Amino acid sequence: MSIPGNLLTTAMAVMPHTDVERALQAALSLDVAFWPQLPNYSYYEDMYVQAAEHFPGIMLDVEKRTLRFSLEKFIDELEETMTHFEDPQYFDVSEAYSVVYHRFLSLNLSDRPAIRGQLEGPISFGFNILDQDERSILFDDTVRPFMLEFLARRINVQLNRLKNLNENAFMFIDEPGLQFLFSAMSGYGDVKAKEDLDLFFSMVDRPCGVHLCGNPDWDFLLGLDLDILSLDVYINAEIFSSYASSIRRFIEKGGVLVWGIVPTGTEFFEKESIDSLIAQMEGVWQILGKKGIDIEHMLTKSMLSPATCCLVNPDKEKTVEKAFALINHLSKVLKEKYRLKI
């Protein structure tokens, strides 16, 4: 089992659609299909809410669209949760929390080069969920170790279900919170984060890796035990290309990079063309080539995607769908240019 490269296409899962079938067809239009997350369709489809299903202590208000945590409730519910720890169904995403996931599981996807799932990662989940004292649960030394194992089990159960559909299935662990690790998380620095993430990834089945749209410490992130890394290179090209040594080590140990190059926000999308985006993408590759990275080899370990998710466009899903179509076109042009397997 392996994650494909050769500039095949995929995308981030969070999409602005309110029509499940339309969102699913957009996701299936890419080489590596995935199940969309549709928070505009239902609050249950929010990525944090999906990760929180069955997590003890969670207080979910769907009408008010709030997700909170109570330590007292956590203590009360922990024993009951532990009785389900060997029950895979308990850790899967239920139909109530994602209609589209279960629709995806009903498809025949065996002929795809790969398929992909996703779940919110522990840093972002722990930072985003606040307790009764308005404090991130990431800082709670009682809750955090449980959270690491709980989310790892959820990822493993989902990956196992996806592998039943396609042997090359893999997982994105969505970690937007990693960009705040060294700036906003006083008391939870890189040493503790590295220790926790090493433990977390030791519990997670493979293949898996991280997706984020922000700008973290790339040395830190590329040094984790990941099979794949998905990033927004449209915005972060200059910064990311300055980490050539870490990028080289990541690729040499078999890591796959997903270059997010097509913007999904209407304003930025309308400013670009396929030629301008190819020029930007190749500009990054040329910089890395000058720093000693074998570009031909790197492209065999690379995929392409839109740059980010976007829920706020005035045209709702239309620009996102255009970005999906453009990344497919861009992939075709670059695969022909670099004589990659199509």
- What digits encode the pLDDT tens for the residues 90-142? 999 999 999 999 999 999 999 999 999 999 999 999 999 999 999 999 999 99
Domain-embedded: residue 2: no
Classify residue 151: in a domain, yes or no: yes
pLDDT band of residue 181 (cuts 50, 70, 90) is confident
Q: In angstroms, rounded to a whole number, what is the distance separating the alpha carbons of residues 234 and 279?
A: 11
- Distance (Å, rounded) from C-alpha 121 to C-alpha 125? 6
- In 131-276, at which residue ranges do the beta strands (DSSP E only) sit? 170-174, 208-211, 228-232, 256-262
The answer to whether residue 342 is domain-embedded is no
Task: For residue 203, tell me if it sits in a domain.
Answer: yes
Cis amide leading into 207 (omega within 30): yes
The burial of 171, by beta-carbon neighbours within 10 Å (0-12 exposed, 13-18 middle, 19 or more buried), is given as buried
Q: What pLDDT, on the 0 to 100 scale, is given for residue 188?
A: 81
Q: Give the mean pLDDT of 48-72.
A: 98
Give the total number of structural domains in the chain.
1
What average pLDDT does the segment 61-79 reach? 97
| CA dist., res. 16 & res. 28, Å (int) | 16
**Domain span at 320:** 8-337
pLDDT of 255-291, one tens digit each? 999 999 999 999 999 999 999 999 999 999 999 999 9
Taking the C-alpha atoms of residue 327 and residue 335, their distance in angstroms, rounded to an integer, is 12
3-state secondary structure at position 174: strand
In a domain, residue 139? The reply is yes
282 token code pair: 């190749």
* pLDDT at residue 183 greater than cutoff 80: no
Q: What is the pLDDT of residue 180?
A: 81
Mean pLDDT of all residues belonging to the chain: 96
**Which residue type sits at 38?**
L
CATH number at residue 77: 3.20.20
Does some domain include residue 3? no
Of the chain, the percentage scoring pLDDT greater than 90 comes to 93
Single-letter code of the amino acid located at 56: P
* Residue keyed to tokens 């861009």: 330
pLDDT (average), residues 161-172: 97
Strand positions, DSSP E, the chain: 8-9, 33-34, 58-61, 66-69, 115-120, 170-174, 208-211, 228-232, 256-262, 302-306
